[in-house]
Every structure is written in C-alpha cells, then in structure tokens.
C-alpha cells in the first residue's frame, strides 16, 4: 500500500440520484411535469429536447418558475404557480416510483454490489425531495444498502452548491479525501469538486456533451467494455490524491 493509500483509503462512494442511479430525467420527471401541467389546466408540454435545455436550471420548482417567466408570467405569479405545480408533480413522480416504473441504469446494481463486497460504504447526496428519493433508492438498490442519504429536504442550497455533499461527509464522519462522488452532470460535478471530492462522471444522453473538466474519470455508463468496478474506483481515487 502506498503512502497515499494508507493515509486516505477509499471508505465511501457518494452517489447523486437523477441520471446517476437511473435515467429519471427524460422518462420519469419530464412526463410527471407534463401530467402536472395538464392537471392544473396549463397548456405546457415539455418535449425531450426542450427539457434537456431546461435542465440547465437546477431544481424542479425553479425550472418550472423559469419557464413560466419566459412565457410572460410575473415573478410572483410564476413562483406561486411553480410551487403548486411542483407539489403535484412530486406526488405523481412518487406514485410512479412506488409502482416500480423506474429502473436502474445498466450495470449499476452490479457495481454497487461490488463496492459493498469490497467494504466501501454507500451514500446518496441529492437535492431531490425525500418523498420520492427514499423509495426510489430503496427500489433500485434494496433496503439497507445506503448508509447515509442526504436529500433536498436536508439542505438550504441546491447543487451546484456543495452543501449536500458536505452534509453527507459529515454524516459519514469522514473527510473528502476518503470518499469518491459519482455524478452525471456538470452541475453535479461542480458541487462535488467544490466539496473537495474526487469525482467519477457517468454521462447520460442529456449530459454527454457537457464540460467535465475537473472530473477524476468520465465514463458513458457502468457497464460495457470497461465496466466501473470497486478496483477502478480505488485506482481513480488513489491517482487523484497522488497527483
């Protein structure tokens, strides 16, 4: 074991949720937003391409409000309506999660099992709402797999602010030098890097063209010709802190 390994062994991997554990954005959140618009009698329907552009605004409620303002709604009206719509959307999405309609990204379950077998702890750091995050994580990874789960209910600032990662590290009782983050987007990468975390980015169709400068490793998925493994995570983590 090198000096770097001895001083800062990889003890935990902290996962984002949306896009990272499952491809939730295009086929999960987007339809739920559209159903919420219809339920409130609002003539808005986000197609896949438009939603990809809207993802530049972090946070579902903030995303709705920004779109409403772009369509001529006043600031106050947009914020009030966005809050109502987001509550409806959260319930709709939660129902789809509880129905088991969201599936893990290919290779994720095997990757997490390998981390657990290697003695690496699992945590989640997302600014999504706990009402749907908790059942989704349990559905995707099983009960008891995730040791620490920090959600948007636990923080006051959304990504790219690092607060959610700092809280996860605090609850894990480790420093950033003993952890690795897994993200799928530039905004998430910024949050993790600002928390001083070595970060692996696993891209999606929405994020593959983004700038991932500062990532320790970028992959297009968990599986494929070069699947992500616990050994690769340890090598990536060691290389990052040895540089």
**Helices 230-242 and 108-117, axial angle in degrees (round to 10):** 70
* Tokens describing residue 224: 């494929």
Distance (Å, whole) CA 182 – CA 106 = 15
Instruction: Enter the tokens of residue 227.
Output: 């699947």
With beta carbons less than 8 A apart as the criterion, state whether 13 and 122 touch.
Answer: yes
16 is catalytic: yes
40 C-beta neighbours (distance < 10 Å), count: 13
CA 119 – CA 117 distance, rounded (Å): 5
Tell me whether residue 43 is one of the annotated catalytic residues. no
Residues in Cβ contact with 156 at an 8 Å cutoff, skipping those fewer than 6 apart: 163
Q: Sign of dihedral through CA atoms 72, 76, 82, 85?
A: negative
DSSP state of 105: P
* SS3 state at 43: coil
**Which single residue is written with the structure tokens 């893990």?**
104
Closest CA to 188 of 176, 175, 197, 177: 197
Catalytic, out of 5, 16, 67, 211: 16
Which residues are designated catalytic?
16, 18
């Amino acid at each position: 074991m090198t000096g770097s390994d001895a001083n800062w062994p990889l003890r935990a991997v902290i996962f984002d949720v949306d896009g990272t554990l499952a491809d939730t954005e295009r086929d999960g959140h987007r339809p739920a937003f559209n159903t919420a618009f219809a339920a409130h009698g609002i003539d808005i329907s986000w197609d896949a391409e438009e939603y990809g552009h809207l993802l530049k605004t972090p946070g579902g409620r903030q995303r709705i409000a920004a779109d409403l303002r772009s369509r001529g709604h006043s600031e106050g009206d947009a914020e009030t309506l966005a809050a109502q719509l987001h509550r409806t959307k959260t319930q709709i999405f939660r129902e789809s999660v509880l129905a088991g309609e969201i599936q893990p990204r290919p290779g994720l379950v095997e990757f997490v099992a390998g981390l657990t077998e290697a003695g690496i702890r699992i945590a989640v750091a997302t600014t999504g709402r706990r009402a749907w995050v908790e059942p989704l994580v349990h559905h995707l990874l099983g009960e008891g797999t995730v040791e620490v789960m920090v959600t948007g209910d636990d923080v006051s600032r959304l990504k790219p602010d690092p607060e959610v990662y700092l809280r996860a590290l605090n609850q894990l009782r480790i420093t950033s030098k003993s952890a690795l983050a897994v993200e799928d987007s530039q905004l998430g990468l910024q949050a993790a890097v600002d928390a001083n975390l070595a970060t692996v980015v696993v891209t999606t169709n929405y994020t593959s063209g983004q700038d991932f400068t500062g990532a320790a490793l970028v992959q297009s998925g968990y599986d494929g010709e070069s699947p992500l493994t616990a050994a690769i995570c340890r090598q990536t983590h060691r290389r990052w802190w040895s540089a």
